[in-house]
Homo-oligomer: A and B are copies of this chain.
Amino acid sequence: MAERGRPRAFDRNQALHQAMMLFWEKGFQGASMSELTAAMGINAPSLYAAFGSKDALYRQAMALYEEGDGVVLGREIAEAPTAKAAVEAYLMRSAALFTRPGKPAGCMVVLSVVHGAGTSPQTSEALRDARNEAQAVIEARLRRALEAGELPATCDPAMIASFYVTVQQGMSIRARDGATRPELEAIAQASMAAWDGLTQMQG
């Protein structure tokens, strides 16, 4: 049951990684086919044979991105000892991820809200689902803390999660605008100054 036909002459994963980097940097519309093929080191027919279309390639690049940075952030939230530590780790890790040298600034999925114009409805929906999931993970962590008695029953997990996700998305914009890691970390810490007040608010 070996593979039939002429073997592929390029590394599919490596080519997809290069496509992800270009989409991440320039967005869907901003990355042209000629730029993509140049970055991936292949010709257009090879790209279409391996990935289907520009739109399908973007979805696969987005999945690869989530398997990387998305999983990293998810682990930070899951492994933190308290809800407050989870949110703080989520923001501080984001500050680091958004400013890595050699990688595009900010979050690929978040920036696609604006970048994403021109994608298919299927891809737009996948992007929206990914963003909603990020908030759902934080909200679930807060709700777990609330049920464990770590937080007062009067606080509003959905609202708190919405706030901190908004801060993180704002950090994506700032990173794209040239903010450094220390600047983003200061913003993250500033938002944590609201924690005590938020966790005592009524829902």
Name A's B-contacting residues (CB within 8 A): 26-27, 29-30, 110-111, 113-115, 117-118, 128, 131, 159-160, 162-163, 165-174, 176-177, 183, 186-187, 190-194, 196-198, 201
Contact = CB atoms under 8 A, between A and B. Distances in A.
A159 B191 CA distance: 11
A194 B190 contact: yes
Contacts of A165: 170
Identical chains bound together, number: 2
Contact of A173 (B30, B163, B169, B190): B169
A162 B176 CA distance: 14
Nearest to A190: B163
Chain A binding surface, main DSSP class: helix
Given A191-B194, A198-B190, A173 B26 contact: no
8 contacts: A113-B173, A128-B177, A163-B190, A165-B170, A166-B173, A166-B174, A194-B194, A197-B197
B166 A170 contact: yes
A117 B24 CA distance: 12
Given A162-B174, A165-B170, 7 more contacts: A30-B118, A113-B177, A114-B176, A128-B177, A166-B171, A169-B173, A193-B201
A186 B173 CA distance: 21
A163 B186 CA distance: 8
A84 to B, nearest CB: 14
A133 to B, nearest CB: 13
B160 A114 contact: no
A191 B173 contact: no
A193 B198 contact: yes
Contacts of A160: 190
A187 B192 CA distance: 14
A92 to B, nearest CB: 14
Contacts of A27: 114, 117
